[in-house]
Structure 1
Amino acid sequence: MVVDASVSRDAAAPAARGRTRRGPSAWVAMYHSVSDCRQDPHDITVTPGRLDRQLAWLCGRGLRGVSVRELLAARARGEERGLVGLTFDDGYADFVTAALPVLHRWQCTATVFLVAGRLGGENDWETYGPCKPLLDADGVRRAAASGMEIASHGLTHTDLTGLPDDLLHAEVHESRTLLAGITGGEVGGFCYPYGTVDERVRAAVRSVGYRYACAIAPGSAAAGDLALPRIHIRQADTAVHLELKRRLARAWGRALEKTA
């Protein structure tokens, strides 16, 4: 994503006289794979070294990365200031081997959105790009035991908006049941594959008891706890890019606003 630097100067300028200034708000970062794989046509892989530098940037500004569950609980108490949600989509096996040590180094937690029907398999929903292994049940338990939130990304990583009602229900319900059976804990979060969501899909997610769901850019009218916006974090994102994304989260409609 290319950002016009002139916008950032405007966003950082003091508020006009007589107008209350609103500082940077809480937001949710979206990661996927953490590895040294250079073949990345979807721009969803960061290296462990880059993740380390990005989390160092967070901590250097008095921010802390937390799971979405922890972020929403803090928001309910009015204590979300200084927190950034960290999410890792798809449940790649490299989350445990590469991302987890970096998260621990910086005392961060995160939410891992798992494709429950593909555990121990590969990202076979991709039509091009590298095949990557996914976490198996032991990896899921290891992530949970390390303080990470385990949440659902459906059964098969399918666009839910095109499914008939019975398959939609299976994707949101059976994935939750499978993951809860592995971890022995509640699975309260969901992530829409490809970020696509409509009112029927949102209703299905609500009906089976999820507390929240993550999208990508649902728009201000659709955003809410069942369509939380997120900001994609890339390998190319240095401290300058991250600062711009932090400052412009609300302007882009990617901020985690307080509930009414």
Structure 2
Amino acid sequence: MDTAQRIPILMYHRVGEPEHPRDIYCIRPEHFSAQMQALARASWCAVSIEDFDAWRRGEKSLPENSFVLTFDDGFTGVFDFAAPTLKKLEWPATVFLVAGKLGGQSDWEVTTEEPMLPHPLMNAAQLRSLSAQGFSLHSHSLLHHDLTKLETSALEQDLRDSRVLITDICGQAPVYLAYPYGRHNEAVRNAAQRAGFTTAFSVESGFNRPTVSAYQIRRLDVFGTDTPAMLLRKIRLGTNDGSLTHLMRYYLHRILRLN
């Protein structure tokens, strides 16, 4: 069996019905199921975030075509639609929770420029059920603020409080953080480490190799418009562009490098 030298991480958000043209991160339940089935047929296999982290630290080997599934925010569609699909495949996944909004709504999605309706977030009972099914629950901050804009004291309070609330739900302190909006800087990375997070996840695309910075883990965006074929191209190439044109350019570039 070949050993993985690089690991892609998929970043999902809401699984449900899109309600707004800007709702690009919402994927319909049947499309999510089709994507997972396509990955399985192509011999990809989801591994836990804990196994990925052990691999990154050189403490564990993983088979080729391993990947990690993550969901940001904690929308109820993860419980209603994604979890049943993943249970059939026996695949683990991680949810990064906006800890101060649990059981509430994603009011950070509402903007004055082009208003979007907020969407419901999972409550404690749903999250405990997911945890019992093998989902990992970690932090996406307390209130989904841009962490780079918070003063030091507010930043550290936000991160600490998010850990406390998630610990109360699942009985285990979260050690992984996904930066809201993917935004981070040195101050945020240092604060995350002081708050007790050992690893943090960005939205920068690409593969992860064992040498990747612990506080700048890469992830691949999954959009509602991605077909299974597009997702397969993304995960194979480590890119957010799943178009056929990008694939052709990739292979053309490789051919030119060999000549």
**TM-score tier after normalising by the smaller chain length:** 0.7 to 0.9
* Residue of 31, 44, 50 corresponding to 1:63: 44
User: 1:206 is matched with which residue?
Assistant: 193
Give me the whole-angstrom Cα distance separating, in 1, the residues matched to 2:202 and 2:49: 12
Q: Which amino acid aligns with 1:226?
A: Y
Unaligned runs of 5+ in 1: 1-22, 253-260
Deviation (angstroms), 1:80: 5.0
Equivalent residue number for residue 241 of structure 1: 230
2:79 to 83, 88, 96: 96
Instruction: Determine the structure 1 residue equivalent to 2:8.
Output: 27
- CA RMSD across the alignment: 2.4
The aligned amino acid for 1:51 is F
**Residues 109-159 of structure 1: CA deviation (Å, up to 9, x unaligned):** 111010000111100111222221111111111111110000001110000
Give how far 1:103 is off: 1.0
Structure 1 residues 170-212: Cα deviation after superposition (integer angstroms, max 9, x where no partner): 1111101110111111311111000001011000111122121
Structure 2: how far apart are the matches of 1:61 and 1:219?
A: 20
Q: What pairs with 1:71-220 in structure 2 (closer than 5 Å)?
A: 71-75=52-56, 76=58, 77-126=60-109, 127=111, 128-217=115-204
The more displaced of 51-60 and 24-33 is 24-33
Gaps of 5+ in 2: 242-259
* TM-score, reference length from structure 1: 0.82
| Paired residues, number | 230
- TM-fit CA distance, 1:108: 1.0
- Greater helix percent: which structure? 2
Contact persistence 1:32–1:44 (CA under 8 A):
yes
d(CA) in 2 for partners of 1:196, 1:133: 23
Deviation at 1:219, TM superposition (A): 8.8
String of CA shifts for 1:31-89, please: whole Å, max 9, x gaps. 00111234351411111111111111111121112332232224431225321111100
Sequence identity percentage: 32
